[in-house]
Structure 1
Amino acid sequence: MTQMNRRIVLASRPQTAVSPDNFRLEQTPLATLGDGQFRVRNHYLSIDPYMRGRMNDAKSYAEPLAIGDVMIGATVGEVVESKHPSFVVGDKVTGMFGWQDYDTSDGVGVRKVDDALVPLTAYLGVAGMPGVTAWYGLNKIIAPQSGQTIVVSAASGAVGSVVGQLAKLAGCRAVGIAGGEQKCRYVVEELGFDACVDYKAGNLYPALKAATPDGVDGYFENVGGESFDATLSRMNPFGRIALCGMIAGYDGQPVPLKQPSIILTMRLLVQGFIVTEHLDVWPEALGALTRLVAQKKLKFRECVADGLERAPEALIGLLHGQNFGKQLVKIA
């Protein structure tokens, strides 16, 4: 009997907000492995904001998904069949295998992982792409110095939570921006930030001013919109801004800056970056992050949806800030 593979494909492009109708669950037979190939059974799928951009047919840093393509995404799983000399059955691996039960690979872009000291799911978060994103933006763009103040938006999320903890390890004052009292309490009490501002409380700028009495030297931006404007107004001369995401505008119209002139008057460095364009730093970053996780010096929280069929719901929730911690989908 032919083994079947469940997969979720892009059924239509969102006109505004993403809806369940934009996805389709399919079943297809698994092909026979060729020489030099191996098959991975995906256990967990990472849900990330960049996925929203790939659903659009628009010019960007990466090609959009075509209608009918399997939704893009990183997974962590186990080799269940192999005709590849470097991958054997039982190997734990992570790669861009997408929203599906199984995928076949020749090994390009696939990384073996060890879950003896680091949980398997962490390789999709704190010890994976989100962690490297945080590490790169903080260390290579913001370049923090001890005693400086670093602010990060979406501070309870997969990237923001790592930024703040790394800033603290570098001797900085870490201030987060997050949505809701519960998330802010977690950021301060569990992650060790010095302060966290609740943007939903309605007093973002006054609260941020109180939390940054010496101004802001470095800002890691994941959201855009009101958070960006408020933090710009607190930037010190020659401050550095690592621009990673603008999720506030992903599901609708972009939110324009109200005071872009501050970039000039404060002589700010504003650098957008895509972490997959800096693969040369990944070994250093991943080595540092996995050591910190193994030593329990980096904490993380996960939000797990159970079942491949819940991946669309998980992405829609992520885009509306409903997740608390790194959003994952448990596939098997």
Structure 2
Amino acid sequence: MSNTYANKQVLLASRPVGMPTEQNFEFKDIPVEPVQSGQVVVRTHYLSVDPYMRGRMSDAKSYITPFALNEVIAGGIVGEVVESKDDSLSVGDKVIGMLGWQLYNTVDAKLVRKIDDSIAPISAYLSVLGLTGLTAYFGLLDIGQPQEGEAVVVSGAAGSVGMLVGQIAKIKGARVVGIAGSDEKCNYLTKELGFDAALNYKTTKDLRTSLEQACPQGVDVYFDNVGGSISDAVMSLLNDHARIPLCGAISSYNSTDGDVGPRIQSKLIKTRSRIQGFVLSDYAARQGEGLQQLGTWLSEGKLKYEETIVDGFENVIDAFLQLFQGTNLGKMLVRVHKA
């Protein structure tokens, strides 16, 4: 039965130098692998594109294995079981997993997790109830540890992680300042999500001065999603014992010249600040805790989330490249199959 489906996948054809282009990828028609005992066939409904994937397209040593050339790219996918030879999953079940960028994936049932589409739309399991929600939750609360009345600054604040970080910080009673790349995004952060202030780094002439005005008592927690000159400006305003969860550095992901900026060591020493990089796998054993709390806040109306959806599997590369142009509000997703 599996072979009755038309299948297609995306391969990494070459390693990007600088900004990736469509020429670095290849679409390939493939058969659907026959389902074996203990396996399921999953039809892709939504496919996640994420900035961290750019690092996996290089062959440099990192915390995760690089994508192999001429092999399928993998990422977060939610879909529907269309064939099953495993007692734990039935046809029609909605599931999530780290699967290949394909229309259909034949995988061991243990590699996917059943999700409940009565709690939230299935796409939410790729954002607020998925990797981005958990990244915001653990990065802010475990490393940032915001206290009531403290000032929290979030870069990349209109992205899927950043907007959740700001909302969680507000739940904890902090003053929250977001940094984003358009007036539209800044207005969304303040008017819809309750951020106390938001700055457009593209039009603000002196970001440091504007941040100083937005945080007159200094910065206690800086959730860093971008690195670069934006982070340089924030670092100059750190209070004593500030905490800096280092989540991403998208400003330099496509750089070919190296990333040069102010030396921050003396500032960190003087303020006794802590900067800590992290990846979500650090918290694998606590995933249930995070998902339960995020689900509670979502059901209570304390968290909002946004999605930028690109329709069509053929547009997955364009959606990925848009991440580096800052066009998305919230989570960038590709809708492959409309249920």
Q: 1:243 aligns with which of 239, 243, 246?
A: 246
How far apart are 1:311 and its partner, in Å?
0.9
Question: What residue identity is the alignment partner of 1:235?
Answer: L
Distance in 2, matches of 1:31 and 1:109, equals 16
- How many residues are aligned here? 332
How far apart are 1:66 and its partner, in Å?
0.8
Map Cα deviations across residues 122-154 of structure 1 (whole Å, 9 max, x no partner): 100111000000000111001111111111101
In structure 2, runs of 5+ residues without a counterpart are: none
SS at match of 2:275: strand
Match of 1:16 in 2: 18
How far apart are 1:33 and its partner, in Å?
0.7
User: 1:1-332, aligned counterparts within 5 Å?
Assistant: 2-201=4-203, 202-252=205-255, 253-260=257-264, 261-332=266-337
CA contact (8 A) 1:118 1:294 kept: no
Question: What residue identity is the alignment partner of 1:221?
Answer: D
CA contact (8 A) 1:118 1:293 kept: no
CA contact (8 A) 2:34 2:106 kept: no
Distance in 2, matches of 1:122 and 1:26, equals 28
CA contact (8 A) 1:224 1:255 kept: no
How far apart are 1:107 and its partner, in Å?
2.6
SS at match of 2:118: coil
Map Cα deviations across residues 142-179 of structure 1 (whole Å, 9 max, x no partner): 11111111111010110000000000000111110101
Moved more, 9-18 or 99-108: 99-108
Question: What residue identity is the alignment partner of 1:71?
Answer: I
SS at match of 1:200: coil
Question: What residue identity is the alignment partner of 1:305?
Answer: V
Map Cα deviations across residues 68-122 of structure 1 (whole Å, 9 max, x no partner): 1111210111111000110111111110113111112213342211111311111
CA contact (8 A) 1:221 1:245 kept: yes
- Aligned-residue Cα RMSD (Å) equals 1.1
Change (3 A) 1:61 1:298: same
Change (3 A) 1:250 1:102: same
Structure 1 residue runs of 4 or more that deviate by more than 2 Å after TM superposition: 1-4, 253-257
Question: What residue identity is the alignment partner of 1:40?
Answer: V
CA contact (8 A) 1:149 1:175 kept: yes
SS at match of 2:166: helix
CA contact (8 A) 2:180 2:199 kept: yes
How far apart are 1:2 and its partner, in Å?
4.1
In structure 1, runs of 5+ residues without a counterpart are: none
CA contact (8 A) 2:160 2:329 kept: no
CA contact (8 A) 1:74 1:124 kept: yes
Distance in 2, matches of 1:254 and 1:206, equals 27
